[in-house]
């Protein structure tokens, strides 16, 4: 699950050619071979052998509500925890690098493997629980019997006063660390993990999955393109698959909002964004056949809503927006362009989630206008470091304090600086677009032929990665595959949801079970039931509850939408169908 800790790090001498080839090689015969006999947890450190891999710790973890000294929200199963490092080396920046990982192997194993793709700039080995990536998950892959692997994607986040807020991005000074972060680490980890599973259980996994949200969703989409042989099912939530381009939007937004007020949070106080959200609902709520506080007919909404109708005819009041505010929002939602008018990323849809007001990680306001660090937007104080160190080639270092990071984005040039996401330089042989995005993203022929399945879900009010960009990718995928993309890949819009969670939405859902059913039982996901977190998510209205039960809705595969059947409880998913 995307935790506040790893969400906060969003953007956000290398190996020789032989070693790099080993990182991205397809599964070997060793990976597929069954071990002669199971190896007990305590013996793994001495019995497991894999090229470039060093086991650093092994521990038998008992079942319970406390795991490694940390309280858990639900009982965890007994398992073997294995920690290690792959491809240890010294980078061109003189710092030590390795692909750090941990794997948790449950005593009661289901025969399944999950690579847990983490969010943000990685850099920390998150606990390998395989949390179901949506708000308020009540289960995880480890509890369901999966062997789960988590990694730092090939670098360690630095911290301390000397580095400030860019400690998660300094790895961008090393070319190989960039490649590991982009794709190479997962290419090395998946075969090693399967070999480790075979060593412990005496047999290789029957099915293999990857799941993540945000940058973790990007990892999953990259895997569909680069590592079709490694995985049977991939789940990509709110995927930043065009992350370098989306990072250009960070600078675009900062400049647009600062033009209204240098104090960015004051450019649009919460009441003003609520005014926008309320107007969206006024024009769009009933377009799907039911006024229920949710916009399901998103395409029709884009035609029905006109921001200019909110512009004040005179002085600014609580019932209207000033002309500079309207201009800024129009610019932000249209997306970045250079001086020639060339599109640099994507446009964005109008949706009710733009009024989400909490300033914790996840919400529209926190990312765009007012976050938990110095009251500044996350795209500025954390995204600025990613823009400078990870996505610019060569890297363009910036100090790790909020004023310097905001200034770097205010000074960003959409002709010269934006071009650096496509550039190579010296030891940096691949541009950020090359190492971060899926090659030929619309052509997943190899993944399809192998029988792989892909589920992508995306909040329509995501403030970090545009839902429109993901929708456009899916339409291109469908065209490339002759209108048959739905046979192996499905996109589920989540109305009102912000970045992986939050917003006026039904955000509690389990895509992992839907994926397993599709891969192992051939049951195509025609809908996934999602529930609102009433009383927990402050952006969920109090009346989204009936007879003590919170609102539920079917999430529908694009281009279908949830439509009211005309009778029944409006807070019950059973009263809706995907049409």
Catalytic residue among 152, 462, 469, 510: 462
List, in sequence order, every residue forming a beta bridge with 57; answer none if it has no partner.
Answer: 83
- 3-class secondary structure for 249-290? HHHHHHHHHHHHCCCHHHHCCHHHHHHHHHHHHHHHHHHHCC
CA 148 to chain centre: 18
* Consecutive H or E run containing 113: strand 112-116
Could you say which of 200, 230, 481, 499 is catalytic? Answer: 499
Pick the catalytic residue: 151, 214, 552, 575? 214
Write the CB contacts of 411 (distance below 8 Å, at least 6 apart in sequence): none
Q: How many CA atoms lie within 13 A of 517 on its CB side?
A: 11
What is the Cα–Cα distance from 277 to 558, expressed in whole angstroms?
Answer: 23
| Active-site residue, 214 included | yes
Whether 346 is a known active-site residue: answer no
64: phi then psi, degrees, rounded to nearest 5 = 155, 180
Whether residue 394 has a cis bond before it, omega within 30° of 0: yes
- Residue 158's SS3 state is coil
Query: Could you tell me if residue 136 is left (phi over 0), alpha (psi between -120 and 50 degrees) or otherwise beta?
Result: left
Q: In DSSP terms, which residues pair with 103 in a beta bridge?
A: 82, 149
CA distance 520 to 476: 27
Active-site residue flag, 462: yes
Q: Please name which of 196, 226, 230 lies closest in space to residue 210, comparing C-alpha atoms.
A: 230
**Closest by Cα among 422, 6, 488, 5 to 242:** 422
573, 552 contact by CB (below 8 A):
yes
Task: With CA atoms as reference, report the closest residue to 515 among 439, 468, 457.
Answer: 457
* C-alpha distances out from residue 180 to 79, 121, 152, 426, 571, Å: 28, 12, 10, 18, 45
Q: Which DSSP symbol is given to 184?
A: I
User: What single-letter DSSP state applies at residue 355?
Assistant: G
139: buried, middle or exposed (CB in 10 Å: 19+, 13-18, 0-12)? middle
What DSSP letter does each residue of 503-562 carry, written as one string? Answer: SSS--B--HHHHHHHHHHH----S-EEEE--TTTSTTS-TTSEETTEE-EEEE--TT--E
User: Within 13 Å and on the Cβ side, how many CA atoms surround 359?
Assistant: 12
Residues 490 and 454 sit within 8 Å (Cβ to Cβ): yes
Q: Report which DSSP code applies to 131.
A: B
Residues annotated as catalytic are 214, 462, 499
């Amino acid at each position: 699950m995307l935790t506040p800790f790893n969400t906060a790090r969003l953007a956000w001498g290398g190996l020789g050619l032989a070693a790099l080839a080993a990182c991205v090689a397809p599964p070997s015969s060793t990976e597929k071979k069954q071990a002669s006999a199971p190896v007990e947890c305590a013996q793994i450190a001495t019995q497991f052998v894999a090229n470039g891999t060093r086991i650093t710790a092994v521990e038998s973890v008992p079942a319970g509500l406390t795991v490694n000294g940390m309280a858990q929200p639900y009982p965890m199963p007994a398992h073997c925890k294995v920690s290690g490092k792959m491809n240890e080396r010294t980078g061109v920046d003189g710092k030590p690098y390795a692909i750090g990982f941990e794997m948790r192997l449950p005593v009661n194993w289901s025969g399944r493997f999950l690579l847990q793709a983490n969010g943000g700039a990685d850099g920390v080995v998150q606990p390998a629980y395989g949390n179901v990536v949506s708000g308020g998950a009540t289960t995880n892959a480890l509890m369901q019997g999966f062997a789960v692997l988590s990694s730092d994607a090939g670098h360690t986040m630095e911290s301390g006063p000397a580095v400030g807020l860019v400690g998660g991005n300094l790895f961008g000074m090393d070319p190989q660390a960039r490649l590991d972060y982009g794709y190479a680490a997962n290419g090395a980890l998946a075969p090693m993990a399967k070999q480790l599973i075979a060593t412990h259980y005496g047999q290789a996994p029957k099915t293999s999955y990857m799941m993540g949200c945000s940058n973790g969703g990007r990892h999953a989409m990259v895997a569909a393109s680069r590592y079709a042989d490694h995985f049977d099912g991939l789940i990509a939530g709110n995927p930043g698959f065009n992350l370098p381009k989306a990072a250009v939007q960070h600078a675009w937004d900062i400049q647009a909002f600062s033009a209204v007020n240098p104090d960015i949070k004051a450019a649009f106080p919460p009441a003003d964004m609520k005014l926008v959200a309320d107007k969206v609902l006024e024009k769009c709520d009933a377009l799907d056949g039911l006024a229920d506080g949710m916009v399901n007919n998103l395409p029709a909404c884009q035609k029905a809503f006109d921001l200019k109708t909110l512009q004040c005819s005179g002085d600014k009041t609580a019932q209207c927006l000033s002309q500079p505010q309207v201009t800024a929002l129009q610019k932000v939602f249209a997306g970045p362009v250079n001086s020639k008018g060339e599109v640099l990323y994507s446009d964005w849809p109008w949706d009710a989630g733009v009024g989400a007001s909490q300033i914790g990680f996840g919400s529209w306001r926190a990312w765009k206008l007012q976050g938990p660090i110095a009251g500044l937007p996350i795209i500025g104080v954390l995204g600025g470091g990613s823009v400078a160190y990870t996505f610019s080639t060569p890297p363009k270092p910036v100090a790790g304090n909020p004023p310097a990071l905001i200034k770097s984005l205010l000074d960003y040039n959409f002709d010269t600086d934006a071009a650096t996401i496509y550039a190579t330089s010296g030891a940096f042989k691949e541009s950020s677009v090359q190492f971060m995005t899926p090659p030929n993203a619309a052509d997943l022929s190899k993944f399809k032929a192998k029988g792989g399945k892909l589920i992508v879900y995306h909040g329509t009010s995501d403030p970090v990665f545009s839902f429109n960009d993901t929708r456009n990718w899916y339409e291109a995928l469908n065209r490339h595959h002759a209108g048959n993309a739905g046979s192996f890949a499905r996109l589920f819009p989540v109305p009102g949801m912000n970045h992986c969670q939050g917003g006026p939405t039904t955000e509690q859902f389990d895509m992992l079970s839907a994926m397993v059913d599709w891969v192992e039982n051939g049951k195509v996901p025609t809908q996934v039931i999602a529930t609102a977190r009433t009383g927990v998510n402050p952006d969920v209205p109090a009346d989204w509850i009936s007879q003590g039960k919170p609102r539920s809705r079917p999430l529908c595969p694009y281009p279908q939408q949830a439509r009211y059947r005309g009778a029944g409880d409006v807070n019950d998913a059973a009263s809706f169908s995907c049409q």
